[in-house]
């Protein structure tokens, strides 16, 4: 399942299957593999939810909260739309709120024909989205990251949030839905002005590494530009290549800002601050490797990647398995504390679990992290 990195830190490959007996799980209540597609589950569905959804003429997908929580919850939207299709319930489907453009890239909404709604509305999203758009809804489905447990079925655990959301709704809706692991949808990408400008001046040629410094919790989750530069220098030197390092920062005070550092021996560094998520969705597929903290832009990078490209998340305190997309190219490097949160399906914040030591991002030495990156770049499973 994992291999040892530096002392106290482990690498977890995105394609690893977690056995049900290795972690704390909640039994799903049925073996998915033995239930035919579209068949009733051996559980009682939520009759009220089923009744109200069946009579809806419009579904609004509305998220207003954190980017990462939104992306990891889109599998729940997929579950509802899969159920509507299996039940032949014809509705219009639209996305609202700040993430409508990203949600459109998943193709989820395009799979369902838009018809004239007859007035009864369902809203699916986070609490803030439902407060903003659900005042006239006959049913609202809240996708709360704290709610669904780590399910187990067929001897396998499903720890990632996309799997948790999808399977939780499958149980509530009462029929075997078509989704299989990985449950997270992927986002389409395409050309845009930023990508074309960077390409024209050589920033997307050769070995390109993106590193995510943006975080809502910098004192805990910022790996720092200096550590990322040290990581990129060691990777480039080992590859005998000149690397381009794109440092992806959060919102700049003066908006979108691009600045280059003086060239180093093995690495050229470009700071990209305040770039909208939709533009980054077009940029990430042009990078050979992406490393980031446990934050929304790292999840975005994983969901806009092709399987032969790798994304590595750094997990110091929270469960490395829950806060991932479940996609096979989305890996984790995690501390012992993160492993314990994974094993017990715990959250240090929700469950008020203090750490034995004050764990920060300095738990991941750049030299050791570079070894993991090099193995992935060279096609060797660490």
293 in the same domain as 150: no
Confirm whether 93 is domain-assigned.
yes
Whose tokens are 């470009």? That residue is: 270
207 in the same domain as 283: yes
Q: What is the per-residue pLDDT across 124-134, written as a single tens digit (0 to 9) for each?
A: 999 999 999 98
245 in the same domain as 153: no
88 in the same domain as 223: no
Q: For the ranges 63-67, 159-163, 261-265, which has the lowest average pLDDT? A: 261-265
Q: What is the per-residue pLDDT across 230-284, written as a single tens digit (0 to 9) for each?
A: 999 999 999 999 999 999 998 766 678 999 999 899 999 999 999 999 999 999 9
Closest-CA residue to 8 (of 321, 334, 372): 334
Confirm whether 25 is domain-assigned.
no
Picking from 119, 148, 173, the residue at the C-terminal end of a domain is 173
Confirm whether 22 is domain-assigned.
no
327 in the same domain as 261: yes
245 in the same domain as 273: yes
Confirm whether 348 is domain-assigned.
yes
Picking from 121, 144, 173, the residue at the C-terminal end of a domain is 173
196 in the same domain as 57: no
Confirm whether 300 is domain-assigned.
yes
Confirm whether 324 is domain-assigned.
yes
The C-alpha atoms of residue 247 and residue 252 are separated, in whole angstroms, by 13
Picking from 173, 201, 216, the residue at the C-terminal end of a domain is 173
Share above pLDDT 70 across residues of the chain, in percent, rounded to a whole number: 92
Looking at the 3D structure of the chain, how many domains does it have?
Answer: 2
Domain span at residue 255 reads: 2-15+190-377
User: Are the beta carbons of 359 and 221 closer than 8 angstroms?
Assistant: no
The C-alpha atoms of residue 377 and residue 271 are separated, in whole angstroms, by 23
Half-sphere exposure of 34 (CA within 13 A, CB side): 8
The C-alpha atoms of residue 92 and residue 109 are separated, in whole angstroms, by 9
359 in the same domain as 298: yes
The count of residues in the chain is 382
The C-alpha atoms of residue 166 and residue 143 are separated, in whole angstroms, by 10
305 in the same domain as 370: yes
Confirm whether 108 is domain-assigned.
yes
58 in the same domain as 195: no
For residue 74, give Cα distances in angstroms to 100, 184, 292, 300. 12, 7, 21, 12
What does the block give as tokens for 278?
A: 């939709």
Q: Sorting pLDDT into bands at 50, 70 and 90, what band is 357?
A: low
287 in the same domain as 207: yes
194 in the same domain as 169: no
Confirm whether 81 is domain-assigned.
yes
Closest-CA residue to 104 (of 137, 63, 133, 165): 63
Whose tokens are 């050979």? That residue is: 288
């Amino acid at each position: 399942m994992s291999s040892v990195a530096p002392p106290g830190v482990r690498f977890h490959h995105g394609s690893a299957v977690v056995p049900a007996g290795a972690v704390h799980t909640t039994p799903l209540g049925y073996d998915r593999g033995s239930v035919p597609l579209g068949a009733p589950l051996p559980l009682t569905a939520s009759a009220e939810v089923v009744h109200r959804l069946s009579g809806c003429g419009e579904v609004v997908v509305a998220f207003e909260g954190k980017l990462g929580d939104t992306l990891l919850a889109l599998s729940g939207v997929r579950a509802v739309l899969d159920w509507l299709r299996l039940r032949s319930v014809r509705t219009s489907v639209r996305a609202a709120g700040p993430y409508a453009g990203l949600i459109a890239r998943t193709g989820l909404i395009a799979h369902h024909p838009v018809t004239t709604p007859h007035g009864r509305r369902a809203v699916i999203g986070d609490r803030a989205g439902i407060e903003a758009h659900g005042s006239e809804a006959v049913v609202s489905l809240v996708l709360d990251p704290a709610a669904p447990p780590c399910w187990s079925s067929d001897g396998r655990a499903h720890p990632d949030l996309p799997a948790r959301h999808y399977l939780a709704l499958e149980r509530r809706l009462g029929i075997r839905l078509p989704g299989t692991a990985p449950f997270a949808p992927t986002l389409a990408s395409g050309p845009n002005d930023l990508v074309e400008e960077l390409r024209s001046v050589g920033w997307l040629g050769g070995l390109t590494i993106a590193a995510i410094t943006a975080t809502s919790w910098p004192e805990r989750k910022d790996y720092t530009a200096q550590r990322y530069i040290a990581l990129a220098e060691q990777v480039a030197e080992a590859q005998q290549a000149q690397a381009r390092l794109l440092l992806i920062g959060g919102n700049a005070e003066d908006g979108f800002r691009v600045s280059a550092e003086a060239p180093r021996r093995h690495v050229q560094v470009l700071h990209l601050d305040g770039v909208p998520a939709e533009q980054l969705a077009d940029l990430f597929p042009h990078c050979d490797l992406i490393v980031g903290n446990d934050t929304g832009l790292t999840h975005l990078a994983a969901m806009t990647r092709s399987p032969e490209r790798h994304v590595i998340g750094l997990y110091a305190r929270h469960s490395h398995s829950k806060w991932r997309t479940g996609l096979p190219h989305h890996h984790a490097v995690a501390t012992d504390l993160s492993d314990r949160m994974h094993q017990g399906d715990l959250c240090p914040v929700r469950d008020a679990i203090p750490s034995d030591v004050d764990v920060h991002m300095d738990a991941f030495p750049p030299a050791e992290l570079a070894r993991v990156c090099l193995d992935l770049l060279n096609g060797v499973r660490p």
